[in-house]
A and B are shown apart, each in its own frame.
Chain A
C-alpha cells in the first residue's frame, strides 16, 4: 500500500471541482490517503460554517465515511513544536522573525515521517517551498517586502534535518496519474459520443486549469508542459 499524507489544500481544490471521486478510484489502486486530525477539522468545520462551501464540506465528509481518507493523529508533538520553531525563526524582516507556518502545516510533514510515507500531497505554496526550495523563500520575501531578508541558516538547516526528504505532490500530479491510469476513460468515451472535439486534450486542459484557478500552485508554463506529456503517456 502506497501511503500519501494529504493537506487541506488538496482536498479543497478537488472538492471545488467535483473530483473527490478520483481519490476513491486511486484507493482501489492501492493508494492510502492519510489526513491529520487538524487538517480534517479545518476542512470540514470551516466548510460547514460557510454558506458557500457547506455542501462541499458534506461531500468531503462522505470520503472520510467511506474510508478513502483515513484520519491519523500526530504522535510526536515535540517534533511539531520544534519544526514550527525552526520554520518560524528562519527568516527575519526588520529584525523580526516571520511566522509563516502553523501547526496544521507542519503536522502533514510530521505524519508523513511518522508512517514512512514517501510523499505529501499539498496544493499550497508555503509548505512546499520549505520542503523543496527554502532558498527560494528568501527571494520571494525580498521581492514582496522590498526589504532586506536575513536568513537564519542554522534554523533552516535544522528544519531540513528534522524533516528529511519528502517528495511533494500536488493535485495536478494526482490527476495526471489518474488520467494515464485510465481513470478518466469513461469520461473521455462519453465526451467522444457527444462531440467531435479532441476530448482527451480538452479534458486534460480543463482539469489542470480548473485546479490552478482553485488555488493549486501550478504555473501556466507547467500546465503547458503537462498537457503533451499526459497525452503521450495516455497513448502508451
Chain B
C-alpha cells in the first residue's frame, strides 16, 4: 500500500479523517479497544467511496490499535505496551496538527511512522499468530469488498493479497446477499453442463 503521491486531500475527506482521529485520541486515552474497532469501520464508507489511501491507512491504524489494546499480554509486556501507546498517542496528536495546517506531506510521514511502529511493536512479541497489521488489512479488505469493491480493487487499496481476502470472505455472509440472475440451480447447472460439454 502506498500513500497517494499527490499531497492533496479533498476537504470532505480531510474533515472526516480529522473527526475520526480526534475521536480516536479520546478512545486511546480510555484504552477502549471496542470503541476503536467500531470507529475504524466508520472510515470504511469514506475509503470505499473515495479509494483514498490515507483514510484506509488511518482506518488500519485505529483498527490495529484496538486489536493491540484488547490483547491479553503477560505482565512484562504490559508496561512495554503502555509506553508504546503513549508514543502513538503523541504521534496522532502531531498528525492532527499537520492535517489542520494542510501540511499533507508531514501528515503522510506521521501515518507512515505509525504504521511502521505498529508493525515493529507487534513483531517484537508476536511470532506465531497473525500480525495485527496484516489481520487488520484482511478485516478491512473484507469490509470494503462487502461495500461492492472487487477483490482486485480491495487488494490494491489495502495492500493485501487475494488469497487472504478469499479466505476471509468465505467466513462472512457476503455470498448470502447476492441474488443471481439464474436463481434456479437446476437451470444454472444445465446451462453450465451444456457449455462445458460444448453443446452451446
Contact = CB atoms under 8 A, between A and B. Distances in A.
Interface residues of A, number: 71
B191 A167 contact: yes
B163 A9 contact: no
A221 B78 CA distance: 47
Given A2-B196, A169-B195, A226-B189, A215 B149 contact: no
Contact of B155 (A46, A137, A167): A46
A8 B185 contact: no
A185 interface: no
A42 B152 contact: yes
Given A42-B162, A133-B180, A137-B148, A180 B170 contact: no
A215 B167 contact: yes
A229 B185 contact: yes
B197 A56 contact: no
A226 B70 CA distance: 42
Contacts of B150: 100-102, 105, 124, 126-127
Interface string A1-37: 1101000110011001000000000100011000000
Interface string A105-124: 10000000000001100011
B175 interface: yes
A136 B179 contact: yes
A2 B198 contact: yes
Contact of B166 (A4, A12, A93, A167): A12
B55 to A, nearest CB: 13
A132 interface: yes
Given A136-B179, A144-B148, A213-B171, A177 B192 contact: yes
A205 B170 CA distance: 16
A93 B9 CA distance: 19
A26 B195 CA distance: 13
The majority secondary structure among interface residues of chain A is helix
Contact of B162 (A12, A93, A132, A169): A12
B170 A129 contact: no
Interface string B139-172: 0000001111111110110000111111111110
B163 A56 contact: yes
Q: Interface range on chain B: under 10, 10 to 19, 20 to 34, or 35 or more?
A: 35 or more
Contacts of B48: 98
Given A125-B174, A220-B176, A215 B166 contact: yes
B30 interface: no
Interface stretch (A47-55, A63-71, A74-82, A153-161): A47-55
Given A2-B196, A177-B193, A225 B185 contact: yes
Interface string B102-126: 0000000000000000000000000
A102 B192 contact: no
B22 interface: no
A177 B180 CA distance: 19
B200 A118 contact: yes
B50 interface: yes
A73 to B, nearest CB: 18
B73 interface: no
Contacts of A180: 193
A181 B195 CA distance: 14
Nearest to A2: B198
A53 to B, nearest CB: 4
B166 A214 contact: yes
A43 B185 CA distance: 29
16 contacts: A2-B197, A9-B151, A12-B162, A53-B164, A99-B51, A102-B156, A118-B200, A125-B174, A125-B175, A127-B150, A128-B180, A129-B178, A139-B179, A144-B148, A173-B188, A215-B169
Interface of B: 45, 48-51, 145-153, 155-156, 161-171, 174-182, 185-186, 188-189, 191-193, 195-198, 200
What are the 10 closest A-B residue pairs judged by CB atoms, nearest first?
A215-B166, A46-B161, A126-B150, A102-B152, A225-B185, A173-B192, A132-B181, A213-B170, A53-B163, A215-B170
